[in-house]
Each structure stands twice: as structure tokens, then as C-alpha cells.
Amino acid sequence: MKDVYILAIESSCDETSISVIKNGCIDVATTILTQMDTHAEFGGVVPEVASRMHSENITMVLEDVFSKTDITMDNIDAIAVTYAPGLLGSLLVGLEFAKTLSLVYNKPLIKVHHIAGHIYANNLVDKMEFPLLALVVSGGHTELVLMEDDYKFNVLGSTLDDAIGEVYDKVARVLDLPYPGGPHIDRLAVLGKDTYDLPKPMDNDELDFSYSGLKSAIINLVHNEKQRGNEIRKEDIACSFQTVAVDELIRKTKLAIHKTNSKRLIIAGGVSANKYLRNEFEKLADEENIKLSIPPIKYCTDNAAMIGCAAYPLYLKNEFSSLDINAESTLALF
């Protein structure tokens, strides 16, 4: 079979990214332009600023990607783009850009769900084999999903309240750490000890998650310590928090492995960049004797390579989109 080259575009939040992906699993060239420093000044992503920066930069990002490879537009078989979920204005910049390229160069368009992208980033490590268990941990998702085949998602459990990434960011905020907080908690936790006694999220055998109690406990703890004039040991809070938060992911994933008799586990989403999480899941995989896949850190957070990977099974099934599709800010994959 002839090689398939997909040009993929991701602009759902604060990264403008474009990739050329070969056969759904090889990153030929990727550029990621992050706006993180700009938004950090405001303590979070400012949607208006994000979409303006995407429109200012997207052409440059495309030129940069093609400067890294001999592949040209002539070799591209399809244009893939994230159309949901995310910030509407940001999504629209990528989507309109993709539609224009599709029309001008006469290439089919493939719409990709952002979370499918995070999951399919695992194809950059090793081609996913089914059935497999997927743990999705991102800014908006905490889910355990059984995949029987490409795009066949059976949700076993999800968060009943906050997503784990959201809680990382909230905890970081009460500790006065910059946005986005996850990487800062990750960095500080290594320097601290698990000294604070925090409530365990949910002491049951269901596969759902709940993180709002843990989040409130930490917010209250920090406020109370501040009021009493006590020193707040940020490193220890970071370490205590992520010990509880990640241990809960481990416990529920282990239950899901047993319930489904799974032999393969993949992790997806921004929080899978976390060092403690990666170590703990490696230990779990050893104990349970299962095959574990976690994308390299650069493919854990938002990037277009994962969108190109997720577009490939759709390309093979001729699932192309018309040029009148719209972006959607909230849309469930499962």
C-alpha cells in the first residue's frame, strides 16, 4: 500500500500546532507554538487573545513545518483538523485554515475530536492493538475507557465532578504557582514529602472518579494555615496532593484491569506528562504484567501529531467531512 501523508492542524486551546504524519504513526514534522507565557500573565487562557494569536501565527507554523521536511503539499493525502471540543474562537481559526487548504489544494478534509487525538498519540509509540484499556487524564477529562477497536469507545468510569487536570491547576492556583499549574506541582512534588493528611477521593469499587472533595480539602487547608500565620510547605502539599490523586487513578485502573481482564493499557491527555503518574503506572504494569503505553512527554500535551494519528483510521474508512462543518466548544467523544 502507498504511504499516506496527513497534514494535521490543532488549535483548540493555547497551542498552534501543525504536523505531517505518515501512515498514522510516524511524526515526519511537527511544529508547536505555545502561547503559554502570554496567558500565564493573566492566570489562565484568555479566549480572545488565544484566537487572535492563532490567526497571527498559523501561516508561519505551516511554513515552519514544511521547512522541516521534503514532503510538500503535493504529497499530502488529506487535511485533518481538531473541530471539538475547545475554545470556539481558537477552534475556528484552525478549522477555517484547514478548510481553505482543503479547497485550494483539493485535498479531503477529516474532522478529529481532540480527545481521540490524545488517545491516538499512543500510535506514535507503538501501533495500538485492541482490545485495550485507556485512561484519559486531561484538563477536561478523567475517564476509563475500554476500546474494542478503532473508534469503539466503551466508557467504564468517568469523573462525577472535576477533571484531574482541573484540580492540578486549582491546587497550583491556591499555592500561587503560575498557570498552567500541573507542571509546577509535578516539579515541586519531587522536592517535598507526603506529610499532609488528605481525604481519599472515593472509597468504593465503582470505576467513577470524584476529585472535588480532595480539591476543597486542599483549598481549606491552605486558607486555614494562612489564617493561622503558619508556613505553607508548597512542596509537601504538592507531594501529598498528587500522591492521593494519582493513587486513586492507580486503584481504579487496577480494578478496571481486573474487571475487564485487560492485557493492554494506554494513558492519554496532558496529565500523563506527570512524572509521578508515569512512574506509578510503570510499577502497576509490572505488577499486573500488562503492556503499558504512555506517549513521550511532548505528545502528552496539545499537539497536532496526535490529530494526524487519530485522522488515519478515518482516512482508511473514507470518513471525510464536507466544507460546511462547524466547530463545537463542547462535544463528548464517548
CB of 82 to Zn ion, least distance (A): 9
Q: Which is nearer to ligand KG4, 47 or 131 (CB)?
A: 47
Q: Compute the chain's Rg from CA coordinates.
A: 20
Question: How many residues are present in the chain?
Answer: 334
Q: Which is nearer to Zn ion, 139 or 201 (CB)?
A: 139
The one of Zn ion, ligand KG4, none whose footprint includes residue 29, by CB under 5 to 8 A per kind, is none
Q: Which is nearer to Zn ion, 157 or 269 (CB)?
A: 269
Q: Which is nearer to ligand KG4, 24 or 180 (CB)?
A: 180
C-alpha cell recorded at residue 109 = 478534509
Are 56 and 97 in contact by the 8 Å Cβ rule? The answer is: no
C-alpha to C-alpha distances, 32 to 69, 116, 165, 301, nearest whole angstrom: 15, 19, 20, 10
Place of cell 501501533: 127
CB of 330 to ligand KG4, least distance (A): 12
- Of 213, 214, 212, 234, residue with least CA distance to 222: 234
CB of 73 to ligand KG4, least distance (A): 28
Report d(CA 233, CA 146) in Å as an integer: 39
Size of the site for ligand KG4 (CB under 6 A): 21
Look at the alpha carbons of 280, 271, 34, 64 in this order and tell me if their dihedral is positive or negative: positive
Report d(CA 74, CA 84) in Å as an integer: 28
Give the 3-state secondary structure percentages of the chain, helix then strand then coil, rounded to 5: 45, 20, 35
Contact between 169 and ligand KG4 by CB under 6 A: the answer reads: yes
CB of 180 to Zn ion, least distance (A): 11
The one of ligand KG4, Zn ion, none whose footprint includes residue 89, by CB under 5 to 8 A per kind, is none
Contact between 182 and ligand KG4 by CB under 6 A: the answer reads: yes
Could you say which residues in the range 96-135 bind ligand KG4, by CB under 6 A?
114, 118
| Identified binder of ligand KG4 from the candidate list 94, 140, 192, 201, rule CB under 6 A | 140
Q: Which is nearer to ligand KG4, 101 or 189 (CB)?
A: 189
| Identified binder of ligand KG4 from the candidate list 89, 157, 181, 308, rule CB under 6 A | 181
Contact between 270 and ligand KG4 by CB under 6 A: the answer reads: yes
- Contacts for 243 with CB less than 8 Å, ≥ 6 apart: 194, 276
Which residues of this chain interact with ligand KG4, rule CB under 6 A? 114, 118, 138-140, 165, 168-169, 180-183, 185-186, 269-271, 273-274, 301-302
